[in-house]
Amino acid sequence: MTHMELWIDILIVLLILTNLKLMGSSRLSACIRTVALQGILLGALPLIAGHGQIPFRVVILSGVTILLKGVVFPWLLLRALRTSNTRREMEPFIGYSTSMLISVGLIGLAMWMGGRLPLPVPLKSPLVVPLALFTIMTGLLAIVSRRKAISQVLGYLVMENGIYAFGLTLAQKEPMLIELGTLLDVFMAVFVMGIAIFHINREFDHIDTDLLASLRD
């Protein structure tokens, strides 16, 4: 194991831990910070994986990623949190300890699936694909199991992070325009969601999604 691969593995383990932390904590501000950390780590991933000689475009992309995921999104969300006077995720559909347990199970599933998908080109670390899958699943789990609208946005972000992790390490040859477009879209999505949370807060005086269940059959 080379020096660099070690660093990659450490990064991956850290990313996995951020996921677990997210599933285990009830304080929303802490969750947001965790996601911010995850974004920064993610942004750093291609820089470390780059064999020393890092192309300019990777630097730019990493910079934009760290800026957006580590700074802009958390800032947006923290603002929304502050206006809504919400501190904690109360009574999620799936409890914290259960969520942790499920997360552990999901790691196993991700490992299995990663093993079923042999990559055409050998990777720096065999953990990347499982990590990406696990992060995506964590994000989905957060969306599914939490009540607060903000938690769901966080879940979406985590999921996006997972996809990004996959993309950054596997498909570096993507044209930059597309990468930027993708990032822009994610940004817009979070922005629009933030606006929506603002309106939800104004309309219902809190950001629980419980009241957002009147349209049904």
- The correct pick among 90, 156, 205, 208 for binding other proteins (CB under 8 A) is 156
Rule CB under 8 A: say whether 175 interacts with other proteins: yes
- The correct pick among 38, 49, 145, 150 for binding other proteins (CB under 8 A) is 145
Rule CB under 8 A: say whether 178 interacts with other proteins: yes
Rule CB under 8 A: say whether 176 interacts with other proteins: no
Rule CB under 8 A: say whether 212 interacts with other proteins: yes
Distance CA 87, CA 90 (A): 9
Rule CB under 8 A: say whether 93 interacts with other proteins: yes
CB of 4 to other proteins, least distance (A): 17
Of 149, 151, 128, 134, nearest to 213 (Cα)? 149
C-beta of 17 vs 189, nearer to other proteins: 189
Rule CB under 8 A: say whether 51 interacts with other proteins: no
User: What DSSP string describes the chain?
Assistant: --HHHHHHHHHHHHHHHHHHHHHH--BHHHHHHHHHHHHHHHHHHHHHHT-S---HHHHHHHHHHIIIIIIIHHHHHHHHHHHTT--B--S-SS-HHHHHHHHHHHHHHHHHHHHHS--SS--S-TTHHHHHHHHHHHHHHHHHH--BHHHHHHHHHHHHHHHHHHHHHH-TTS-HHHHHHHHHHHHHHHHHHHHHHHHHHHHHSS-BSTTS-----
Determine contact, residues 136/163, Cβ cutoff 8 Å. yes
Rule CB under 8 A: say whether 213 interacts with other proteins: yes
Rule CB under 8 A: say whether 128 interacts with other proteins: no
The number of residues that bind other proteins (CB under 8 A) is 51
Point out which span in 11-19, 30-38, 79-87, 195-203 binds other proteins (CB under 8 A). Answer: 195-203
Rule CB under 8 A: say whether 1 interacts with other proteins: no
Rule CB under 8 A: say whether 173 interacts with other proteins: yes
Point out which span in 13-21, 57-65, 81-89, 110-118 binds other proteins (CB under 8 A). Answer: 110-118
Bridge partners (DSSP) of residue 88 are 27
The label of the residue with tokens 């996995």 reads 16
Residue ranges that bind other proteins, judged by CB under 8 A: 93, 113, 116-121, 136-137, 140, 143-147, 149, 152, 156, 159-160, 163, 166-167, 170-171, 173-175, 178, 181-182, 184-185, 188-189, 192-193, 196, 199-200, 203-204, 209, 211-217
